Structure 1
Amino acid sequence: MQVIGEAPQAVSVAAFKRAVMIAEDDTDHDVALTAYLAAAQEVVETAARRPLTPRVVQFTTWAGLGLRWWVPLAPVSAVTAVAYDDGSDWVDVLPAEFRLVQGFDEPQVLFTDAAFAGLSCLAGLRITATVGHVTPPKGLMQAVILLAKDWFDTGVAVEDHKETALNFGCRSLIRQARYVRPREWGSA
């Protein structure tokens, strides 16, 4: 998945300061706090598979997935474009040949029979969508705050955030809200 443009922050520096009882007029660490909050949001969103704020993203996958493609995260508010690689260029799929269903709970893109007629199952597929919560879940916002506070208190370098362990509270909040793609039952 590639984010197109900037992903808005779910937790502002001011909200973080209020949550951890730092005086709002204490601006000595604002640049560091901004970096901690951005990194913490990235970790929480990846672990939960739930973007906290709206953004446009692009997924690249294979066209041979059939007439249904399950989006690997939630929520999805719109699928704005679908294109396939015909070997020399990306070809747009007509909007009438795909649609988003159950975008908030179990997002999936359904295609008509004509969408990929005669196309190799190995052809690349590019899906552009708007994903993320309009109002971020409070539990995941709290996980961002907990994680950023841990890093701030211990002086972890933002560049090293992928090597640090999540504390119990943060893991628990993420686990409660984590999106897991539904399993399909039955014969195909």
Structure 2
Amino acid sequence: MIYVGEGDKPVAVDVERFMRATHVLASDIDDPEAITDLLNTAQEVVEKATGRPFGPGEYRFTAAFGWWRRWWFPCCPVQDVTGIELIGADGVAQAQPLDGVRVAMGEDEPQLILAEDWAGLAVDATEIRVTARVGAAPDDPAARTAQRAIVLIAREWLASDMSMGDEGEVVPPRLSFGALRLIKQARYKRPHIYRGA
């Protein structure tokens, strides 16, 4: 899953919201850019762990293509499909029509459904590349839980000393029990990968 939308990726928690949530004063922050980076990193952690990107925004997914006509997205929610390409064994991508393509159960268990007469089924392809509008609105209950996890993680990272690893990379501290519980509450896990329709 790769963000491919126009402009910057939607931000779940900005610096001002973080400051309000943690009761940090503007005078206490030496480098607002560092806080922004910290929040963006915490958002990446939470989005990956929960399978719930913030948005909505456009994301691209790639999967093996073959006998199936129903595919479960690895994240939730999914609003709609905005593009499909099929990739042949030669690596060449061919754009496909969206007629006969739909998203089912987008809020709960998002699935890409290909109709029996979808033109792409006649193409000899090994991969499918799907672009879809994905992501939870800020007022979604799961999104609010994930936002609390982002604030908690960023606050913990800010309060701790980030240690350096063997290769010189920054090693963040382990996530606290509270952050892990919030992530678990918001987690989406798809029930299936492929299934014939």
Q: Does TM-score exceed 0.5, indicating one fold? A: yes
Task: Give how far 1:24 is off.
Answer: 3.0
Task: Give how far 1:157 is off.
Answer: 6.6
Structure 2: which 5+ residue stretches go unaligned?
Answer: none
* 1:97-149: CA deviation from partner (whole Å, max 9, x where unpaired): 211111111101100123343444x6111000111112252211110001001
Match of 1:132 in 2: 135
User: What amino acid maps onto 1:148 in structure 2?
Assistant: A
1:117 has 2:115 as partner: no
User: What amino acid maps onto 1:4 in structure 2?
Assistant: V
**C-alpha separation in 1, matches of 2:67 and 2:135:** 24
1:148 has 2:154 as partner: yes
TM-score normalised to structure 2 length: 0.84
- 1:33 counterpart (32, 35, 40): 35
Match of 1:80 in 2: 82
User: What amino acid maps onto 2:190 in structure 1?
Assistant: R
* 1:20-74: CA deviation from partner (whole Å, max 9, x where unpaired): 1111344413111111100000000100000122221111111115000100000
1:167 has 2:170 as partner: no
Matched length: 185
- Work out the percentage of aligned pairs sharing the same amino acid: 34
Moved over 6 A (4+): none
User: What amino acid maps onto 1:176 in structure 2?
Assistant: Q
Structure 1: which 5+ residue stretches go unaligned?
Answer: none
Distance 1:70 1:187, change over 3 A: closer
TM-score normalised to structure 1 length: 0.88
**C-alpha separation in 2, matches of 1:90 and 1:133:** 29
